C-alpha cells in the first residue's frame, strides 16, 4: 500500500485513544481543567457509568467568549506560551489535547463564562465536528457535558469493563483528587445518587474518612517532612493496618496523581521488616517539589513523571515515612525511648544518648524532641544523683552519639514472668518483653543478616509423607527451589502429597507435617508476591514456628541470650509480623504512679 497522510478524523481518534481510554479518563481531564481554573466547587454527574453522560460543572475562571472555539482545537492551551515552559509546569494540563480528544469521540457540549464577559458562550462538538459559538446567560464558570462516549469508536466501547468497575474507577479517581485538593468542594453523583461529597474546608483527614472509613482515617499516621526542598506530606497506615496488595498506595507529585515504581519502592523500604512479609501498607502521599525538578511531559495521560534526581526523591520519601512510623510506633507504654551509652566516646558532644534517626542499627529512637525526659545527662557520665532527679530538658539536636555495635548490654535481665515475658531493667525503667515475639525477631534478623544461609537442613531419619490442601500444594510446588534454599528437602509425591526428607534445622523438633504446613499458613489467594518477598514471607513463617512459645520455661542463660539477641537486632521493637516485642515502664511513669513526682 502507498503511504498516505491520515484523514484528520482518523488522526484525531488515534490521538484521542492515548488520552481517553475510558470514562474515568474523561473525568480526570475535565477535573484537572476545573482545578487549573481555580474552581472552589466542582460538581460531577455520571450516568450509565459514564457511557451515557458525564457532566462536570465548576465555578472557576471560565473561558473568554472569544476563545471558546479555540479551547476545543487540538494543541490549543492557555497554560503554555513558550517551549521553556514545558520544563516548569505548574498546572495539571498543558498539552491542549483533552477537550479536542474528548470531542472527537463523543457528543460534547461546552458552556463557559469568563468573569470579564457579560454573557457566557456555548458550543457543541460531535465526533470532532465543531459547531458555531452562541451566547448564553450563565454564571461564571464552566460546564462540560460529554454524551455517548465512544459512540463513533465501537471498538473502544467493547474494551470497557463492567459498569461497576467503570463506576468504581470514577469513584476512586474523584476521591483521590478530593484528598489532594481538600480546599475544593467536590460533589460526585453516580446514576442520580450521591457518591462522594466533601466540604472543601481544607481538612484532609475528613476526606480520608470518605476514602477509607472513619476508623481507618483515625488510625492513619500523618507524614510531614521537608528536606532539600522536597516536601512530603500525607498519610500512611500504621504497621498494624495492612493489605495484601499495593492497590492503596497513592502518590501525587505537585498535585498530580502519578504511578511511579521508585516512589512505591521508597515507601516499602521504609516499612521494611516492620510489616508481616507479603503485607503492604496503605498510603496517600503528596510530594511538592520545584516543577523544574520533575518532567511531567513523558506520558500522554500524564500518569507518569520523570524525576531529575530520583535518588534524592527516593531517600526523601523513605526518610519521611520512616520518621513518621518511628514517631508513631514507640514501645507501647511511653512516648519516647532512649538508649544509654556510657561507653560512648566518639560523638560530637559528650552526651551519652543515641539519638540518630537515620541509622538502622540503632535501637531506641527518639523521633519527638519536644517532650524528651532523659533520666540524667551530665556530660555523658551517669551518676546516681542525676538518675535520682531526672532533668527535664530537650537534648540538643547535634548531641548524637554513635554506639559501637553491641558493646554494652543495655538491658539487665531480672527474670521471667508467667513463663511468657522477660523482665529487664534498662537505663530508663523496666522493660517487659514478649519472649515469643522477641525470639521471632531475633531469628528473622539472624537469617536476613547471614544472606539466607542461617537455616541448615536437618535430614529426617525417616522421610515423611505429608498431605496438604490443593491450594497450598500448588503454592509449595511453585516454590520448591526456594524451599531447598531454606533448608527443606521436599519432593512432589502425588496429587497433594509431598515427601519430606529434610526440614530447616531450627524446626527439627517439630512434626514434618507441621514444618511443611508452616509455609502456607494464612496464605491469601490474591497475594502474588515478588520472589524476594516470597522468601522473606516464608522465613518469617519459619521463624514464628521455631520461636520459643508463650508458656515455655526458659533457663536464665536462655533468657540472657534472648535479650542479647534482641539487643543486636536493627528493629527490636516489633516482631517480623509487626507486633510489639516489648512494653516499657519508664522511671518517670513509676514515680508518678507512686506519687513521688509532683508531691515535692
Ligand atoms: P489543557 O488543559 O492541556 O490546556 P484542554 O484541552 O484540557 O487542554 O483545555 C484547553 C483550554 O481550555 C485550557 O488551556 C483552558 O484554557 C480552557 N479550559 C478547559 N476547561 C476549562 C475550565 N473548566 N475552566 C476554564 N478554562 C478551561
Ligand atoms: Mg486539560
Between 535 and 250, the more confident residue is: 250
pLDDT bracket for residue 521 (50, 70, 90): low
pLDDT for res 290: 92
What was the pLDDT predicted at 352?
27
pLDDT band at residue 455, thresholds of 50, 70 and 90? confident
For 482-497, the DSSP string reads HHHHTT-EEEEEETTE
pLDDT value, residue 29: 95
Nearest bound ligand to CA 32? 2
Q: Of ligand 1's atoms, which has the minimum distance to the CA of residue 60?
A: 24
**Ligand 1 geometric centre to CA of 32 (Å):** 9
Q: Looking at per-residue confidence, does 170 or 351 come out higher? A: 170
CB 141 near ligand 1, within 6 Å? no
- Distance, in Å, from the CA atom of 314 to the CA atom of 575, rounded to the nearest integer, reads 26
291 grid coordinates: 516543577
CA of 8 to the centre of ligand 2 (A): 21
Distance CA 320, CA 169 (A): 29
Phi then psi dihedrals of residue 517, to 5 deg:
-65, -30
Q: How far apart are the first and last CA of the chain?
A: 98
Mean pLDDT of 572-589: 84
Residue 423 has pLDDT above 80, yes or no: yes
Residue of 15, 18, 28, 33 to mutate, ligand 1, most atoms within 8 A of C-beta: 33
Is residue 375 very low, low, confident or very high in pLDDT (cuts 50, 70, 90)?
very low
Task: Please report which confidence band the pLDDT of residue 600 belongs to, taking 50, 70 and 90 as the band edges.
Answer: very low
pLDDT digits (tens, 9 = 90+) for 299-357: 777 778 899 899 999 999 999 999 898 887 654 443 333 333 333 333 333 222 333 23
Whole-number Å distance between alpha carbons of 112 and 124: 12
Least-confidence region, from 26-30, 401-405, 551-555: 401-405
Instruction: Answer with the residue of higher pLDDT: 556 or 336.
Output: 556
Joined together, the cell numbers standing for residue 52 give: 451515557
Mean per-residue pLDDT of the chain: 79
Burial 338-362 (b: 16+ CB within 10 A, else e): bbbbeebeebeeebbbbbeeeeeeb
C-alpha 45 chain-centroid distance: 30
Which pLDDT score, from 0 to 100, does residue 104 have? 93
Which pLDDT tens digit goes with each residue over 64-92? 999 999 999 988 888 877 777 777 777 88
Nearest CA to ligand 1 atom 1: 96
**Residue 148, all three cell numbers:** 455517548
pLDDT recorded at residue 161: 86
Top mutation candidate among 15, 91, 93 for ligand 1, by most atoms within 8 Å of CB: 93
Better pLDDT: 378 or 10: 10
pLDDT score at 122: 98
**58 pocket-lining for ligand 1 (C-beta < 6 Å):** yes
- Model pLDDT, residue 329: 61
Lowest mean pLDDT among 93-97, 132-136, 236-240, 264-268: 93-97
Q: How far is the CA of 78 from the centre of ligand 1 (A)?
A: 7
Atom of ligand 1 nearest to the CA of 34: 23
Which helix (H) or strand (E) element contains residue 384? helix 384-388
Please tell me the distance between residue 77's alpha carbon and the centre of ligand 1 in angstroms: 6
Rg (Cα) of the chain, in Å, rounded?
A: 30
Flag whether pLDDT at 193 surpasses 50: yes
pLDDT value for 15: 77
Structure confidence by residue, pLDDT tens digits, 95-116: 788 999 999 999 999 999 999 9
Ligand 1, atom 21: closest residue by C-alpha: 33
What pLDDT is attached to residue 532?
52
**If you average pLDDT over residues 523-552, what whole number do you get?**
70
Most confident of 326-335, 411-420, 540-549, 573-582: 411-420
Other beta carbons less than 10 A from residue 583's beta carbon = 15
Q: Which three cell numbers stand for residue 46?
A: 455520571
Q: In 224-346, which residue ranges form alpha helices assigned H by DSSP?
A: 261-270, 310-328
Confidence of residue 484 (pLDDT cuts 50, 70, 90): confident
The residue nearest atom 12 of ligand 1, judged by CA position, is 71
Compute the distance between CA of residue 110 and CA of residue 103 in angstroms, rounded to an integer.
10
Buried-exposed string 45-57: b where 16+ CB fall within 10 A, e elsewhere: bbebbbbebbbbb
Q: Which residues contact 538 (CB under 8 A, 6 or more apart)?
A: 277, 479, 482, 483, 486, 519
Compute the distance between CA of residue 451 and CA of residue 194 in angstroms, rounded to an integer: 54
Please state the rounded mean pLDDT for residues 442-458. 76
DSSP state of 182: T
Cell digits for 172? 476512586
Is the minimum distance from the CB of 60 to ligand 1 under 6 angstroms? yes
Amino acid at each position: 500500500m502507498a503511504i498516505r497522510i491520515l484523514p484528520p478524523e482518523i488522526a484525531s481518534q488515534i490521538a484521542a485513544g492515548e488520552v481517553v481510554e475510558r470514562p474515568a479518563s474523561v473525568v480526570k481531564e475535565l477535573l484537572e481543567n476545573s482545578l487549573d481554573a481555580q474552581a472552589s466547587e466542582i460538581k460531577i454527574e455520571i450516568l450509565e457509568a459514564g457511557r451515557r453522560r458525564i457532566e462536570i460543572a465548576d465555578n472557576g475562571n471560565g473561558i473568554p467568549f472569544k476563545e471558546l472555539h479555540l479551547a476545543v482545537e487540538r494543541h490549543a492551551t492557555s497554560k503554555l506560551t513558550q517551549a521553556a515552559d514545558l520544563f516548569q509546569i505548574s498546572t495539571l494540563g498543558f498539552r491542549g489535547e483533552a477537550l479536542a480528544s474528548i470531542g472527537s469521540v463523543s457528543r460534547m457540549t461546552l458552556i463557559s463564562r469568563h468573569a470579564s464577559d457579560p454573557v457566557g458562550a456555548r458550543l457543541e462538538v460531535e465526533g470532532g465536528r465543531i459547531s458555531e459559538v452562541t451566547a448564553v446567560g450563565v454564571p461564571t464558570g464552566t460546564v462540560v457535558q460529554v454524551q455517548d462516549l465512544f459512540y463513533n469508536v465501537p471498538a473502544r466501547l467493547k474494551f470497557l469493563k463492567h459498569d461497576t468497575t467503570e463506576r468504581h474507577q470514577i469513584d476512586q479517581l474523584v476521591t483521590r483528587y478530593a484528598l489532594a485538593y481538600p480546599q475544593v468542594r467536590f460533589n460526585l453523583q453516580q446514576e442520580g445518587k450521591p457518591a462522594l461529597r466533601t466540604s472543601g474546608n481544607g481538612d484532609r483527614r475528613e476526606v480520608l474518612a470518605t476514602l477509607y472509613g472513619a476508623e481507618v482515617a483515625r488510625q492513619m499516621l500523618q507524614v510531614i517532612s521537608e528536606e532539600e526542598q522536597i516536601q512530603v506530606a500525607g498519610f500512611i497506615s500504621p504497621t498494624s493496618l495492612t493489605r495484601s496488595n499495593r492497590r492503596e498506595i497513592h502518590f501525587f507529585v505537585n498535585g498530580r496523581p502519578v504511578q511511579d515504581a521508585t516512589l512505591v519502592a521508597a515507601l516499602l523500604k521504609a516499612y521494611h521488616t516492620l510489616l508481616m512479609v507479603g503485607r503492604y501498607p496503605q498510603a496517600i502521599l503528596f510530594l511538592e517539589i520545584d516543577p523544574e525538578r520533575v518532567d511531567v511531559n513523558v506520558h500522554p495521560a500524564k500518569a507518569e513523571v520523570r524525576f531529575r534526581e530520583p535518588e534524592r526523591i527516593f531517600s526523601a520519601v523513605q526518610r519521611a515515612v520512616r520518621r513518621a512510623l518511628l514517631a508513631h510506633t514507640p514501645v507501647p507504654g511511653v512516648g519516647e525511648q532512649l538508649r544509654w551509652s556510657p561507653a560512648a566516646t566518639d560523638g560530637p558532644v559528650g552526651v551519652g544518648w543515641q539519638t540518630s534517626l537515620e541509622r538502622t542499627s540503632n535501637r531506641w529512637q527518639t523521633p519527638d524532641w519536644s517532650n524528651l525526659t532523659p533520666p540524667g545527662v551530665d556530660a555523658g557520665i551517669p551518676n546516681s544523683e542525676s538518675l535520682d532527679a531526672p532533668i527535664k530538658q530537650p537534648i540538643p539536636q547535634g548531641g548524637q552519639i554513635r554506639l559501637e555495635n553491641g558493646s554494652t548490654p543495655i538491658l539487665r535481665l531480672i527474670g521471667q514472668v508467667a513463663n511468657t515475658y522477660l523482665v529487664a531493667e534498662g537505663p530508663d525503667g523496666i522493660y517487659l518483653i514478649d519472649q515469643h515475639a522477641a525470639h521471632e525477631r531475633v531469628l528473622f534478623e539472624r537469617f536476613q543478616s547471614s544472606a539466607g544461609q542461617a537455616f541448615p537442613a536437618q535430614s529426617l531419619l525417616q522421610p515423611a509423607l505429608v498431605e496438604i490442601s490443593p491450594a497450598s500444594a500448588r503454592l509449595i510446588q511453585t516454590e520448591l527451589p526456594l524451599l531447598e534454599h531454606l533448608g527443606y528437602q521436599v519432593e512432589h509425591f502425588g496429587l497433594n502429597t509431598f515427601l519430606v526428607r529434610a526440614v530447616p534445622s531450627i524446626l527439627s523438633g517439630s512434626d514434618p507435617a507441621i514444618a511443611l504446613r508452616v509455609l502456607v499458613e494464612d496464605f491469601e489467594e490474591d497475594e502474588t508476591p515478588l520472589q524476594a518477598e516470597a522468601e522473606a514471607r516464608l522465613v518469617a513463617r519459619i521463624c514464628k514456628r521455631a520461636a520459643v512459645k508463650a508458656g515455655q520455661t526458659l533457663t536464665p542463660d536462655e533468657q540472657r541470650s534472648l535479650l542479647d539477641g534482641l539487643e543486636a537486632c536493627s528493629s527490636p521493637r516489633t516482631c517480623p509480623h509487626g507486633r510489639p516485642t516489648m512494653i516499657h515502664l519508664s522511671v518517670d511513669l513509676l514515680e508518678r504512679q507512686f506519687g513521688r513526682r509532683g508531691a515535692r
